[in-house]
Copies of this chain bind each other. A is one copy, B any other.
Amino acid sequence: MTSESGSSLAKLLISCADRPGLVASLAQLLAGHGANILSSDQHTDREQGQFFQRLVFDLSALSTDRGTLERAIQEVAERFDMTVDLFFCQSPGGAPLKKKVALFVSKYDHCLYDLLLRQRAGELNCEIPIIISNHPDLAPVAEQFGIDYYTFPKTAEKKALVEREELELLKEKKIDLVVLARYMQILSDQFLSSFSGHVINIHHSFLPAFIGGRPYHQAHSRGVKLIGATAHYATPDLDEGPIIEQDVVRCSHRDDVEDLVRKGRDLEKVVLARAVRAHLEDRVLSLGNKTVVFD
């Protein structure tokens, strides 16, 4: 699993209406071009009649060239009405192709530090060129890691304007993924639509329990025995986007709200990191408000 970032690899994500012959036709196509399939995961959602596949293959013995292969895949995609995403681990010239991630933060630093340290340790195969915040507080952390930090103060009147500036910055920096690492602002529908499927948020509850604000307070007054965290793609429907990862930790009557906040921080970090990692490894496909996350 670790070596999927190997130099000559490519990954193909497919989603389409289910029908016989899909697995074989793609296997044949790749074999026919000399691409050696290293790994193939697929899933059929029977209720929705939808087929999902993730293929990892090695291009080092390719009998044609990338362009020819891409065109062949595109042709099959059109024939079967497939949604297709193809990712190369290296450019044709041999440079590693890493996704570019923008972190959005407010004042909490735990998810920020966690993601930065994991990226530096090689756990997250990406670049993190920018950190965006509505507050200046975490600029020193960005500095420690040598990352540009942009403060966009937000007011009700200027929200639309500021979001346009943020979108321009994301475009300029060629950002592939926005991670809301405990970003305490609601993004507009326009923003989310223009980055649809590429914004991951961490919500500090086991969704759909405790939707909305102050979930640890809600959990405390309900007297639950476990608290949770949920990483999901952010969509205009707040807290309703496709769930990528969730986890829980045990609590008890001994825990006051502050204890839940403390225990929750550990959860938020690992749940968000797992979701971001899965996305960066091209393991997540979504359909409606559900995801397929291949191991």
Q: Which B residues lie within 8 Å of A222 (CB)?
A: 207-208, 243, 289-290
- Can you name the residue of chain B whose Cβ is closest to the Cβ of A30? B24
Q: Which B residues lie within 8 Å of A207 (CB)?
A: 209, 222, 224
Interface string of A163-199 (1 = CB under 8 A from B): 0000000000000000000000000000000000000
A137: Cβ under 8 A from any B Cβ: no
- Given A209-B206, A224-B207; A248-B245 close (CB under 8 Å): no
A81: Cβ under 8 A from any B Cβ: no
Contact status B43-A42, CB under 8 Å: no
Contact status B28-A24, CB under 8 Å: yes
Contact status A2-B252, CB under 8 Å: no
Number of copies: 4
A231 to chain B, nearest CB (A): 9
A156 to chain B, nearest CB (A): 31
Spot the interface stretch: A90-98, A147-155, A258-266. Answer: A258-266
Q: Which B residues lie within 8 Å of A223 (CB)?
A: 242-243, 289-291
Interface string of A234-268 (1 = CB under 8 A from B): 00000000111111100011111011001001100
A16: Cβ under 8 A from any B Cβ: no
Question: B110, B255, B266, B289: which contacts A1 (Cβ < 8 A)?
Answer: B255
